[in-house]
Amino acid sequence: MEDGFSLKDSCIGIIGLGLMGGSLAMRLKGKCARLIGFDSHPPTLEIALSKGIIDHAESDSANFPAQVDILILATPVPSILETLHQISITNHQLPKHPCIVMDIGSTKRDILQAMIALPVNFDPIGGHPICGKEKLGLENADVNLYQNAPFIVTPLERTTERAKSAVGQIISAIAADLVEMSANEHDHILASTSHLPFLLSSALAHTTPQEFAPFIGPGFRSTSRLAGTPAHMMLGILKSNRDNVLNAIQSFRNSLDEIEIVLRDEKYAELENLLNQACSNYYSITDNPPIPSH
C-alpha cells in the first residue's frame, strides 16, 4: 500500500487487556496477521489465550517483539505515561522498523507531551474512544463495545500519514467513528462530558444515606452509575485534566446555585423555565427524541 500500512498484514500489540484493551482485541482478532496481548496479571493472559482473544501473551510490556507494527496502550493514564517513559529511555530495544504507538487514554495533553520524547523509530499518535462501562476487567469485555462510538484521534506534529492511515484502518475495523481534534480541545470537552459526570455520580452516591437503599429506583441507579467505577481508574484522569475539571465543576455549581435560588425564593415560574431549558438541551445534546406531551 502507498502509505506502507496494511492492517491485515500487521502485527498488533495491545498493552493492557482490561475492559478497553480486551474489547479491542476481541474486535481486531482475525483482522490482523498477529495479535499480541501484554498484561501484568497472568490469569488475564491465560483467559485471553484460552478464549482465543489473542495469538500470543507477554507479561512484560518492556519486551515487546521487534516485529510489532503498532503498539496500543490500553492501560490507565498513569500507566500509559510510565510506559512511554520506559520506551523513551530504553534505547537498546529500538524496533528495526518504525513502530506506531497509539494510546486510548481518557486525557490527551500529558500523554502527547510524553510521546514527544519517544525515539525516532516510534511513530506516535493519540487516541480516545468515547465508550466504556463502569465494570472493568477482561471478564466484562464486549466485542461490540466500540461499535458506532466516536473515536477521537489527536495527532502530533511528528505523526506520519502512515500512522494516521493505520489508526484509520483500526477504527474502521472496529466500526467506530473517527473524529480528529487537538489534545487541548479533547481535554476541555471531556471534562464536561465524562470527568464531571463521574464526580457528580460519586457525590450523589456519597451523600445518599445507606438506610435509603430500599427506596432506590432506576432514576437514582442511572444517575449514580458512574460512581461504580473504581477510584484508581479515575485519579490519573482527574489529575491530568485538573484545570478543565475544576472549570467544569464551577460551571455546574453556578447552574445548581441558580436553581437553588429560585426554588428557595419560591419563584416557580423561573424554576420551570430553567428546567424546560435543561430538558430542551438534553434532547439536543443526546439526540434523543422528546417524549410526546399528552
pLDDT in tens, the chain (294 residues): 446 789 999 999 999 999 999 999 999 999 999 999 999 899 999 999 999 999 998 887 666 666 799 999 999 999 999 999 988 887 545 566 789 999 999 999 999 999 999 998 899 999 999 998 888 899 999 999 999 999 999 999 999 999 999 999 999 999 999 999 999 999 999 999 999 999 999 999 999 999 999 999 999 999 999 999 999 999 999 999 999 999 999 999 999 999 999 999 999 999 999 999 999 999 999 876 665 544
Can you tell me whether residue 198 is helix, strand or coil?
helix
Tell me the pairing of strands 177-180 and 122-129: unpaired
Q: What pTM value is reported for the model?
A: 0.91
Distance CA(35)–CA(22), nearest Å, equals 11
Domains and CATH numbers, the chain: 8-181 (3.40.50.720), 186-286 (1.10.3660.10)
User: Which residue in 66, 29, 69, 25 sits closest to 44, CA to CA?
Assistant: 25
Is the distance from CB of 14 to CB of 74 less than 8 angstroms? yes
